[in-house]
Amino acid sequence: MSSSRAGGRQSMSELKLRRLIEHNQRLREDLARPRVKVSEASASLIRYCKSTKDHLVPSVWGPVTRAEDPYGQQTSGKCCSIQ
């Protein structure tokens, strides 16, 4: 019975070691991931928002005409088509 306990302890310690090694590897991968400073990321986001027109925010970009509204009803002159 004492031999099975010793084998169980060894397998538990091997399992713990393997988990620690896997965790260490994940941490190394996370550390190697390229980073961007928050100030650079926020400046990039602000530039994008100022240069990209969003039709869903008319308070910023002004009213959208029917011709340039991609979400509005298209006026083709016909109600429906039968095929």
What is the per-residue pLDDT across 37-70, written as a single tens digit (0 to 9) for each? 999 999 999 999 888 878 777 777 778 777 777 7
Q: If pLDDT is split at 50, 70 and 90, which confidence band does 1 have?
A: very low
User: Is 6 within the bounds of a domain?
Assistant: no
User: Is 58 within the bounds of a domain?
Assistant: no
Residue 5 has pLDDT above 70, yes or no: no
User: Is 44 within the bounds of a domain?
Assistant: yes
User: Is 2 within the bounds of a domain?
Assistant: no
Regarding pTM above 0.75, the answer is no
Number of domains in the chain: 1
User: Is 37 within the bounds of a domain?
Assistant: yes
User: Is 68 within the bounds of a domain?
Assistant: no
The structure tokens listed for 18 are 């393997």
The residue range of the domain holding 37 is 12-49
d(CA 77, CA 18): 69
User: Is 74 within the bounds of a domain?
Assistant: no
